[in-house]
Structure 1
Amino acid sequence: MARAPLGRQQLLDAARAELLDGNGHVDLHSLKRRSGLSTGALYHHFGSKAGLLVAVYEQFHAGLVAAIADDTLPTGVAWGERERVRTHHFVDYHFADPLAELLLTRIVREPELAELESGALDRLATAAAHNIRRGQRDGDISPTIDADLAGACIIGALRYGIDDQLRRNPRPTTDDAAARLWDVIAGALTIR
């Protein structure tokens, strides 16, 4: 009898569901039951339970990067308008993923993920600084603003700001949360 192919995505989907049901924790017995796969499949694809969590986070972060990429934004508009749209995409992505709040509050405290998130935030801050420099070259942002510092501060504000917006009860609408976050960014860069 031929064995069914071992499914990496099947395990990722099961892990996401387990994290939601377990309030940020994955029980291996439940994971096996939910995925229909053995512990061996987990170790084959991810090396460990921690490796599975890393893959869940990487998948989430890759989706975020795609959601806020330059090719998703309007062209031919001022820097501020384009970045307002990017901020809205950022909020949309987080609000649409039921795992976002757990990933940002509980799951990233796992040592393997804390380091991974730190690297992800560094890359986002570098991209933000580059983007701010583009706004400075275009004359939309004051050249006196330190782009590297502003990029790091803005990414930090977005990271912890979205965490705050996700945990509010009642949760604000996507439009309200995006407007609140944009106000912080625009204020930091003195954009109106």
Structure 2
Amino acid sequence: MARAPIGRQQLLTAARDELVRGNGLLELSALTRRAQLSTGALYHHFGSKSGLLAAIYDGFYDGLRHAIADPHLPTEADWGTRERRRTHLFVDYHFADPLAPILLNRAALDPELAELEAVHIQTMSAFAADNIRHGQSVGELPSTLDAASAGAFVIGGLRHGIAQQLRAEPPVEPFEAGERLWHLVASSLGIA
């Protein structure tokens, strides 16, 4: 994998830090100070502030897809056991990233970012639908499920459920959040 140019990576790291510090707000002057780069570097690498934010979103969702990928799951387990583990990995990824609450709760208010997130959610929903079809083909999920709708329901439910769990008071531990969400996923898919 090719390394990102130093200035580009400095800006991405500084922007993530500034978004966390500013609870979703990103001021260019604070960003360039933190990155120790000029505003021109931002435009050179990303074209605009929106381009930078899009790169952060893309990085977040690329990391999520990697974190929940099949190689991280038990190979000999039944479908439900594997998907329970995948649900926990999904939750753990969000709980481990301090930017997750901001991306799930604040940044979606930006129309450009909401559109970008929708693309990522659609991609993940399509993957979930294929996975549900596999569960149906091996007889572990009801054949009456509409896989496309179920995939969208699961991914959308996880996305919003995790956002709610991250806001919970008192704070919820990741394992407990994963169990809560897995129970809802399993129930919606007809898994006993």
TMscore range, shorter length: over 0.9
Give 4+ residue runs of structure 1 displaced > 4 Å after superposition.
Answer: none
Hey, what's the Cα distance between the residues in 2 that align with 1:58 and 1:169?
29
* Bigger mean CA deviation after superposition, 19-28 or 34-43: 19-28
Deviation at 1:6, TM superposition (A): 5.4
In the other structure, the counterpart of 2:98 is 98
Identify the range of structure 1 (89-98 vs 19-28) with the bigger mean alpha-carbon deviation.
19-28
Q: Distance in 1 between matches of 2:167 and 2:181?
A: 15
Shift in Å, 1:15:
0.3
* Cα distance in structure 1, aligned partners of 2:24 and 2:136: 41
Residue 174 of structure 2 corresponds to: 174
Scaled by the length of structure 1, what TM-score is found? 0.96
Secondary structure in 1 aligned to 2:172? coil
Distance 1:115 1:94 in 2: 20
Output the CA distance in 2 between the equivalents of 1:161 and 1:82.
20
Name the residue aligned to 2:73: 73
Tell me the equivalent position of 2:44: 44
* Partner deviation per Cα, 1:112-154 (whole Å, 9 max, x = no partner): 1111110111111111110000000111001111111111111
Partners of 1:108 and 1:45 in 2: CA distance: 23
* Distance (Å, rounded) in 1 between the aligned partners of 2:76 and 2:161: 28
Summarize the alignment of residues 1-192 of structure 1 with structure 2, pairs less than 5 Å apart: 7-192=7-192
Q: Specify the code of the residue in structure 2 equivalent to 1:139.
A: G
Q: Equivalents in 2 of 1:97, 1:152: separation in Å?
A: 23
Distance 1:79 1:150 in 2: 15
How far, CA to CA, are the matches of 1:29 and 1:123 in structure 2? 34
Structure 1 residue 108: deviation in Å?
2.0
* Structural RMSD (CA): 1.0
**Which one-letter code corresponds to 1:86 in the other structure?**
R
Q: Is the 8 A contact 1:6 1:41 kept in 2?
A: no
CA–CA distance in 2 between the matches of 1:174 and 1:73? 18
Number of positions where the alignment pairs a residue of Structure 1 with one of Structure 2: 188
- CA displacement, residues 4-61 of structure 1 (integer Å, 9 cap, x when unaligned): x751010000001111111101111111110000000000000011111111111111
Runs of 5+ unmatched residues, structure 1: none
Distance in 2, Cα, partners of 1:23 & 1:145: 40
SS at match of 1:188: helix
Report percent identity of matched pairs: 57
Question: Per-residue deviation at 1:171?
Answer: 1.6
Counterpart-to-counterpart distance in 1, 2:20 and 2:6: 23
Contact 1:6 1:37 in 2 (8 A): no
In the alignment, the residues of structure 2 paired with residue 149 and residue 28 of structure 1 have an alpha-carbon distance, to the nearest angstrom, of 41
Q: Distance in 1 between matches of 2:13 and 2:189?
A: 40
SS in 2 for 1:7: helix
